[in-house]
Structure 1
């Protein structure tokens, strides 16, 4: 058998340059330039992409080091990863944290979960025929989730499938709960061993303060077309094409195993109360299933996060998961409540979600309707 030909000199450099030019062009197309830390991350991604392409040409068994992009919310981590992902042109798979666990649990049905075979089968399926796994919003707050993540990382290393990860947390800050953090230290050390840790730490949140002349460039245009509405008068809702459904339209949905009473479920629109959606035993799997079915969501009777005990800690965490899912799936979201519906506040004890800053950044993409029913005053408030 003739051995595979070696790439011509400069091929890897040229491949990296092409990828880098592509990411810079994507930024320019959205009206901004990569800031310093974004540029450094893009250069590392471009070099990684060239290594992956070279590996396929030469049939090399050696995988390049994975990449762990981290930094504060809204600094462009996901945008940069998605720009790179779109231009890589190889066998890739992109998963979001919540969707990863849905796929993981879906893959265990009908298999032997007692000895771990089911979990391993599901992870193997996720990595099958994949040159690179892209993992968005990587975080660990639950020790059980941490065990699944550890197995994914171990299997990816064994199968030589590199990862590109985005996270709001540096590796040392994963699983921050002091009761469990020490148990996760071996996995944290493994992450630092197998991945290049790259921080994106620009000085501003691009979701809140886009660069002058830039377009949204987020890829979440439907989500960003939603609105936060307070107090939710008929006039406010009517001007947005929303009308409170009568009691006769109530239905019971069972997206997975948990029944949810909704106020309306037209072919494209789901209208549900905060308490029904977040106050019971619903799970992220329920939210993902509903997101597959409805492209517009209205959540009403949303309590004010600035009022202590307005909702329980589990309810606020479920709300955080809802926002995560709807943002990632690019679902249009309307939130209605008496207010003040302001998530730019410090966490109160253990009531509000751990990832409050990320949720506040995402909800900042939504417009606002407030004050009263006066069209002129409302237009001024929402501008």
Structure 2
């Protein structure tokens, strides 16, 4: 349920708030949809936040607006709404994505100053420097070490009186769900509740599952959507899509950050890599982000069926979810190839599949399915 505290505001702040709500509604109209009820409620909270923040910048108020935590199921327009608000907010601001944030933080754990926390603190200082508000997209915590970094960020932001606007698929109480570590994060969860208004966006429609070509809050650019899920991955199937299985001589060793990865091919614009090599080792989102900077098209083959129940694959599936997150956010074209069935909607949750399976299934639903039993023209029109 959305938390909407009573706000003591003057006429100037009230006018700015109403204008912002109208602007966000107009942005939605230009994108081909209307704000549903929970989106409208969130827009009003964002507008009130923005009016307070701009009023503070103009010395109309010294009060720091409470941070906002927007959460809800996948595909409900949280990121779209935040980005529309971000574009219209006339203050010093910075927007970061969860994986980019941790790439910069983990970069501080290597090198001469590694281990003493100095580089990590410098990363946090740089993130918060010269801004009035920090926007943090796709907030989630699955690792206790990442949870410690988040706690430091929240402490430093509070000290500097810098509010945050956060989007997440998780309610605060559901962060770091692993029962082995959840209790360690409870104090940080309480800090989030103390410093942020919790606003739920929970409309019935997952906009990512709207047919391709329909306007919606969560439609990505054409890069990611132009990818395919290919089963069983015969040479004929691949050839129809302009993909040709690399010869062994094309294999390369890449070192995007600290861990080498053996890839099957790395043309100037195409990366071809096996699932086990990409997800079965010690790779991290930092590796995927570095590779995404160099390759606009990825082919991941030998993808196992998510219907299989192999406990040893649990870490690999979690890394795979990180790959999908990064490639979706960076708008990279992705081809997934496997014998199948490759059905993440039907996989169900459990110890083997990642805890954020619903988000991954929603994003992969954007990819057209190519199956050998279908004629080519049906494959091309299958949509997502």
TM-score between the two structures when normalised by the length of structure 1: 0.91
Q: Output the CA distance in 2 between the equivalents of 1:302 and 1:45.
A: 41
Structure 2 contact 108–114 (Cα < 8 Å) conserved: no
Given the superposition, is the C-alpha separation of residues 136 and 381 from structure 1 closer, same or farther in structure 2, using an over 3 Å criterion?
A: closer
Q: Output the CA distance in 1 between the equivalents of 2:152 and 2:248.
A: 47
Q: Output the CA distance in 2 between the equivalents of 1:165 and 1:377.
A: 40
Stretches of 4+ aligned residues off by more than 4 angstroms:
108-111, 210-213, 379-383
Report what 2:224 is aligned to. Answer: 223
Gaps of 5+ in 2: 1-8
Report what 2:253 is aligned to. Answer: 252
Report what 1:17 is aligned to. Answer: 18
Q: What secondary structure does 1:25 align onto?
A: helix
Q: Output the CA distance in 1 between the equivalents of 2:353 and 2:343.
A: 12
Structure 1 contact 297–333 (Cα < 8 Å) conserved: yes
What does 1:197-276 align with in structure 2 at a 5 Å threshold? 197-209=198-210, 214=215, 218-276=219-277
Given the superposition, is the C-alpha separation of residues 376 and 225 from structure 1 closer, same or farther in structure 2, using an over 3 Å criterion?
A: closer
Report what 1:4 is aligned to. Answer: none
Q: Output the CA distance in 1 between the equivalents of 2:236 and 2:212.
A: 34
Report what 2:133 is aligned to. Answer: 132
Deviation at 1:248, TM superposition (A): 2.1
Q: Output the CA distance in 2 between the equivalents of 1:372 and 1:100.
A: 43
Structure 2 contact 208–218 (Cα < 8 Å) conserved: no
How many residue pairs match? The answer is 376
Q: Which range moves more in the overlay, 309-318 or 78-87? A: 309-318
* 1:143-191 deviation per Cα after TM superposition (whole angstroms, max 9, x unaligned): 1111110110010010011100011111112122222222222211111
What does 1:1-383 align with in structure 2 at a 5 Å threshold? 10-58=11-59, 61-110=62-111, 112-209=113-210, 214=215, 218-309=219-310, 312-347=313-348, 349-372=350-373, 374-379=375-380, 381=382
Deviation at 1:103, TM superposition (A): 0.9
TM-score between the two structures when normalised by the length of structure 2: 0.91
Deviation at 1:255, TM superposition (A): 0.4
Gaps of 5+ in 1: 1-7
* 1:20-67 deviation per Cα after TM superposition (whole angstroms, max 9, x unaligned): 222212211221111000010011111111111111111855321000
Structure 1 contact 30–217 (Cα < 8 Å) conserved: no
Q: Output the CA distance in 1 between the equivalents of 2:382 and 2:187.
A: 51
Given the superposition, is the C-alpha separation of residues 47 and 221 from structure 1 closer, same or farther in structure 2, using an over 3 Å criterion?
A: farther
